[in-house]
Structure 1
Amino acid sequence: MPKGVTKRRPRTRAALLQAALETFAENGFHATSIEQICERAGYTRGAFYSNFSSKEELFLALFDEHSERIVRRITELIDSVADTELSLQALVEVLSDVEPAERDWYLVTTEFTLHAIRDRQAAWVLAQHDARLRAEIARCLTAHLHRTGRTLSVDADELARLLIAIREGGLAQSYVEPEALPPGQLERNFLAPLLTALTAPAEQR
């Protein structure tokens, strides 16, 4: 492959991913065509197919990119807090943070999840990506709890499932009733007592 093409490829891929996120959020996953994504990104169908084999593969790339960004953001925020100041409540504040742009991603991932529920192959593939995200959340949570002097008394993967369920269920209600339930409020109200109940002081384990 010519050197110029190699250098352009990451930019092309990033533009297609951003265009897809915006178009999926506006029109829906199924209603969005590859042509619409290409038009918004400013590239041809050939450029699309040189990076992705289908809309499904593009969505999964978006999923992985979003997962990596969220885990990196959580880690950076928690790492910026000194050990002497890190508490369960400080950890909860980080886990409760919801960026304004999260609404678009919520719209996109919710529709794809419904698609996966109806399609066994899509469900199997999505489950693999979900598992990788949970593993990262479980790893980060275990490490950060250790810094607060506590250790989990339940399975880390199952707790990651619960935290994701609280997050997604809470956002669904928040986006319907933003004034009654601002994004992140359920986590701020209930994660600290939940984590207290599901952990123990490290020296007791």
Structure 2
Amino acid sequence: MNILKKNKFQLKREATYANLIQAGIEVLCERGYSASSIDDVVSRAGYTKGAFYVHFESKEQFFLHLMDQRTESRGSMMAAVSKARGESMTLHEAVSSVVKASVAFVTQSPEWILVYMDFFIQSKQSELIQAKYIELYENWIAEIKQLLEKLKENGQVSEEIDIESKSRMLNAFWDGCIMHHVFYKEELDEQKITDAFVKLLRE
């Protein structure tokens, strides 16, 4: 089998892209979307604006790439969701495993939810960006729905559960937990969050 090796130019291009993405995450989490500039990002990454525009057309497009990168980096959290769907667990165990992985992921960059909100407000006139947000949100809801379907199939939640509305309720509750964590600088208590989720699922 012939495996094409990447040349030095390709490797350098990929490294530049990755460094810009990482710098963007750091800068935006520190300053927010509206207060950050392309100059801030390239300065943090150690590049020129020319290097930035090789990869991105605008600040808005750059942030869309950051959103995709953020989604792709949720590997451990999604593994926990898959495990909860695929293994025989009690309701509390299944929820606890997902909460634990979610807390670990969020605490890497807890301010990210504020960056999302800032960008959403600044980009309200863009149908493309609005559609991207809706797609992202619906993907999160779909993941929760799949987990609830499995829990229902295993008899761990009521047959009468409204999976659609319950999934959105759980997602909203989780967003609230993150906001509280960011505003009040309090730790995300995995046990309390797990107990609250379980209570919501049993209501």
TM-score after normalising by structure 2: 0.76
Give the distance between the partners of 2:149 and 2:18, measured in 1 at CA: 31
Kindly indicate whether the alpha-carbon contact (under 8 Å) linking 2:148 and 2:163 is maintained by their aligned counterparts in 1.
no
Q: Answer yes or no: is 1:119 the counterpart of 2:125.
A: yes
1:15-164 equivalences in 2 (<5 Å):
15-70=19-74, 72-77=75-80, 83-84=87-88, 86-97=89-100, 98-99=103-104, 100-116=107-123, 118-121=124-127, 122-139=129-146, 141-142=147-148, 145=151, 148-150=154-156, 153-156=161-164, 158-164=165-171
The alpha-carbon distance between structure 1 residues 38 and 195, as it changes in their structure 2 partners (threshold 3 A), is same
Shift of 1:52: 1.7
The alpha-carbon distance between structure 1 residues 184 and 105, as it changes in their structure 2 partners (threshold 3 A), is farther
Shift of 1:64: 2.1
Q: What do the CA deviations read for 1:121-152 (whole angstroms, capped 9, x no partner)?
A: 3323322333334334433x246526854477
The alpha-carbon distance between structure 1 residues 45 and 170, as it changes in their structure 2 partners (threshold 3 A), is same
Q: Answer yes or no: is 1:192 the counterpart of 2:198.
A: yes
Give the distance between the partners of 2:15 and 2:48, measured in 1 at CA: 14
The alpha-carbon distance between structure 1 residues 184 and 38, as it changes in their structure 2 partners (threshold 3 A), is same
Q: What do the CA deviations read for 1:58-95 (whole angstroms, capped 9, x no partner)?
A: 2222222222333x2223235567834x2211222233
Match of 1:202 in 2: none
Q: What do the CA deviations read for 1:88-125 (whole angstroms, capped 9, x no partner)?
A: 11222233231321313233223223334x43533233
From 183, 191, 194, the counterpart of 2:188: 183
Give the distance between the partners of 1:13 and 1:34, measured in 2 at CA: 14
Kindly indicate whether the alpha-carbon contact (under 8 Å) linking 2:80 and 2:98 is maintained by their aligned counterparts in 1.
no
Q: Answer yes or no: is 1:172 the counterpart of 2:179.
A: yes
Kindly indicate whether the alpha-carbon contact (under 8 Å) linking 2:20 and 2:42 is maintained by their aligned counterparts in 1.
yes
**5+ long unaligned stretches in structure 1:** 198-205
**5+ long unaligned stretches in structure 2:** 1-5
Give the distance between the partners of 2:150 and 2:51, measured in 1 at CA: 41
Match of 1:203 in 2: none
The alpha-carbon distance between structure 1 residues 143 and 130, as it changes in their structure 2 partners (threshold 3 A), is same
Give the distance between the partners of 1:55 and 1:184, measured in 2 at CA: 35
Give the distance between the partners of 2:143 and 2:60, measured in 1 at CA: 23
TM-score after normalising by structure 1: 0.75
Q: State the superposition RMSD in angstroms.
A: 2.9
